[in-house]
Amino acid sequence: MSKAKTATPVTDPVHTRAPYWQDVPDEKWMDWRWQMSHRLNSVEELDAVIRLTESEKKALGTTGLFRVDITPYFASLIDPEDPHDPIRKQVIPTAREMVPFHSMMEDSLAEDKHSPVPGLVHRYPDRVLMLVTTQCASYCRYCTRSRIVGDPTQTFSRSEFDAQIEYIQNTPQVRDVLLSGGDPLVLAPKLLDMILGRLREIPHVEIVRIGSRVPVFLPMRVTPELAEMLGKYHPLWLNIHVNHPNEISPELAAAADRLTRAGIPLGNQSVLLAGVNDSVRIQRKLVHELVKIRVRPYYLYQCDLVAGSGHMRTTVSKGIEIMEGLRGHTSGYAVPTYVVDAPGGGGKIPVQPNYVLAQSPSKVVLRNFEGFITTYTEPEDYDPREVEAQEALIEPRPEPGQSGVLGLLQGEKMFIEPEGFDEVHARGGSEHRLRSGEVKQKWQPLGVGAIEHEPPEPRQLAEKVDDEEEKEAEGDAASG
């Protein structure tokens, strides 16, 4: 691990600065440390820059509210006279944030429940989420992790970092590590360098990803030195978080350019927010502006059921409407995947309009974005076994207990039962002659899953039946 270089302020021209800071020298303004030390978080500070509403003042004066901190740069993107400004709604609280709503939870995605060690979430078979800090450059009002984010007492310790790394080292099925938090790019450069270096020493970790809103909240943090340091750890991917076209400034474009020139592919994760971007027109403008700065739209999230976000949620049907207005209406490369991150910890579930209208063994009926309806004729001689010789050359990856619906399709099992299914339907009865011992084999479907004595393959059975029928036919012909 090489020694981290001393970062120098970015010297790009200043394009975004509110009149309140007009006397700040450019060198200070473009210094990310100055931005972090001058963040706004009180009624007095914000009211000097933005004309606050009574609802905003009430929320800002409430104790126990999720943390408020806004960089001067990001505050400069807000229209100070517009109470409906889409950037303002993302970072300045209102009294509506204090109103509880049905189904809200502290940890709606059950991340802490699915953490084998503190700060490491292993939800999917081959990848883990590694939370490396609870701090951000600014704080989103709809933050999924508001239970820990922004709270200095929840910061992860060195021993917890070590436990996270040890778990990954001891779990060879993990090929992909996502760093998040908080925001990994607010970490001290030496600490981030150390974490990336240790991950890169693990042979089975193929890629590392970073989720960060720093390029959006604090683009001057993306210095040439930071981009160079990140570029040492390829293959490394980075997803930023832009929700509205107004956030795409010349400063963000310059930061994205520094990252892409360091060989880092960029994606964008947006959250669907009421009054911010719940519009086909806004979403189209957003994805068009993103691809112009070489950022590919990746996910559009349904807002989570996290406390404080009730007034920012839309219906899922609005998200489907937006996807209807993107797919086919603009470049496929600019269309994100719309997902609901399942409450209770089920992971991301993609949701989209239905393009398959009907199916038969020989045809599929489909429709396009215009409503044009067509049929696709299925091949009559397709043999899905033809690829098996090539497939056998690739070692299957372990997915213990998580093969899911794919396991049903591939014959590992024939059904997925809810926990306690058999006990519920036994209705408290004791074992008896019809459902105990060896007779339990009556519920083992032939040829599906693993049983003690492998049955003949269905194809072999069919061939045997065909042979017997052929012999019978020959015997009938001879006797005739």
Look up residue 397 and give its two tokens.
């990856």
Strand ranges across the sheet with 363-367: 356-359, 363-367, 373-377
Look up residue 241 and give its two tokens.
């978080």
Q: Is 369 exposed, middle or buried (0-12, 13-18, 19+ CB in 10 A)?
A: middle
Report helix, strand or coil for 306. Answer: strand
Residue pair 320/351 in contact by the 8 Å Cβ criterion? yes
Residue pair 119/132 in contact by the 8 Å Cβ criterion? yes
What's the start-to-end Cα distance of the chain, in Å? 87
Look up residue 104 and give its two tokens.
């809200």
137-139-144-145 Cα dihedral, nearest 10 degrees: 60
Helices (H) and strands (E) in the chain, counts: 17, 12
Give me the DSSP letters along 254-292: HHHHHHHHTT--EEEEEEE-TTTT-SHHHHHHHHHHHHH
Report helix, strand or coil for 242. Answer: coil
Q: What CA–CA distance (Å, rounded) separates 432 from 44?
A: 75
Q: Which of 318, 307, 241 is nearest to 275 (CA)?
A: 318
Residue pair 131/156 in contact by the 8 Å Cβ criterion? yes
| Distant-in-sequence, close-in-space partners of 299: CB < 8 Å, separation ≥ 6 | 269, 270, 336, 337, 338, 339, 348
Strand 356-359 with 347-350, pairing: unpaired
Active site (catalytic) residues: 123-124, 127, 136, 140, 143, 145, 304, 341, 348
CA atoms within 13 A on the CB side of 357: 11
Dihedral class, residue 178 (left if φ above 0, else alpha if ψ from -120 to 50, else beta): beta
Look up residue 348 and give its two tokens.
């991301």
| Distant-in-sequence, close-in-space partners of 322: CB < 8 Å, separation ≥ 6 | 272, 278, 279, 280, 283, 300, 338
